[in-house]
Structure 1
Amino acid sequence: MRRILVVGITGAGKSTMARTLSSRFAVPYHEMDALHFAGPGWAVNDEFVTQVARIASSPAWIFDSYGYPEVRDLLWEHADTVVWLDYPRRVIMPRVLRRSLRRTLLRERIFGGNRETLTDWFRRDHPAWWAWSQHGVRRADIQRRVRDPRFAPLQVIRFGTPEEAADWLRSQ
């Protein structure tokens, strides 16, 4: 496991899992949202695809992503391992709601110095709305990719609950 892609719906814990794996396996972790957003106003990094392609061609990395269609196939083609946090909505939604509420109330700076605001909660691309509406779509796409021969040989480690993931991490 040297090129690890951690996938799942918004709020599944991809970044947390990726940081843990990075520490455990001494493999560099790259936070996809931090690479994608370049600055205030959710400005997009013009070099995003180039940066991801450069990292993906290196011998070892961990990304926490499923999104960003412009680099999705690239990451799946270069990965040797996919860690899939395949959690149900009843697990995801409380997590994403707590995280967004904390970020909004505490005005936490995130990617590119941006912040989640109360107004953002009413947008279709807010993490809470996105996690709810995209849960089934994302799950189906990941299932399709796992079976796609273009991405073989690919080790897939799938967890249906956070407890399964925690047990696996303890065994590593």
Structure 2
Amino acid sequence: MPLLCADSPLPHTPQRVLVAGVTGVGKSTLSAQLSERRNRPYTGMDVLHWGPGWTTRPDFLAQATALAQSAQWVTEWQYWSKGFKHILGDRADTCIWLNFPRRRALPRLLKRTVTRSLTGREVFEGCVEPPMWHVFSDPDHILRWEARTYNNWRERMQTLPEEFPHLTIIELRSPSEVRQWLAGPASLLP
């Protein structure tokens, strides 16, 4: 199935929706909006994944598997290692790929990261964004992670139609396309 775009009619009513894209592009924001507008439960993958001190929760896979088995949901699709992509991908019926150019995606992440770092606000239970100087010393700092993984998404998404032929994939290339899709095809959903 070819990728759908912002004004493509949906071939079915999405029940289990994944929102994919590079770090900081707005996956959680769109997931929450879809959940609210379409009355689908939203569970944030980062909330399930991150425990105090940015450690992986021991029950992460079990919780994600339980979510995947639910009849309806919206969540982000960002953890792909060790076959995790199949836990959600095998059950999802729709994937929305936020494929923003880097000039749009990176400033959003930078603003969010700086704000969180300066305020010291807890991001997840027991997780606080480190001081900005950590970008120079931590190879896994969120800004360095984005730089390493940005191009991975094109490669990943090119294989999805073959790997998950049951998925309807919608590619949205800008915030204006997201708004267009929400006002158009998404607004027609029951």
* TM-score, with length taken from structure 1: 0.93
Return the match for 1:128 from 118, 123, 143.
143
Kindly state the Cα deviation for residue 43 of structure 1 after the two structures are TM-superposed: 2.1
Kindly state the Cα deviation for residue 132 of structure 1 after the two structures are TM-superposed: 1.8
Alignment of 1:39-58 (within 5 A): 39=52, 41-58=53-70
Kindly state the Cα deviation for residue 140 of structure 1 after the two structures are TM-superposed: 1.0
Return the match for 1:81 from 81, 94, 97.
94
Cα contact 2:51–2:124 (8 A) shared by 1: yes
Partners in 2 of 1:132 and 1:65 — Cα distance? 18
Q: Which portions of structure 1, spanning 4 or more consecutive aligned residues, are displaced by more than 6 angstroms?
A: none
Kindly state the Cα deviation for residue 26 of structure 1 after the two structures are TM-superposed: 0.5
Aligned residues: 169
Return the match for 1:141 from 143, 151, 156.
156
| Structure showing the higher helix proportion among its residues | 1
Of structures 1 and 2, the one scoring higher in RCO (CA 8 A, sep 6+) is 2
Partners in 2 of 1:52 and 1:69 — Cα distance? 13
Alignment identity in percent? 34
Q: Deviations over 1:18-73 (max 9, x none)?
A: 0000001101111011100122x212211110110011011001111222424212
Match of 1:21 in 2: 34
Larger Rg computed on CA atoms = 2
Match of 1:63 in 2: 75
1:36 counterpart = 2:42: no
Unaligned runs of 5+ in 1: none
Q: Which amino acid aligns with 2:135?
A: W
Please provide the CA RMSD for this pair.
1.3
Q: Which amino acid aligns with 2:154?
A: R
Partners in 2 of 1:32 and 1:4 — Cα distance? 13
Partners in 2 of 1:3 and 1:138 — Cα distance? 21
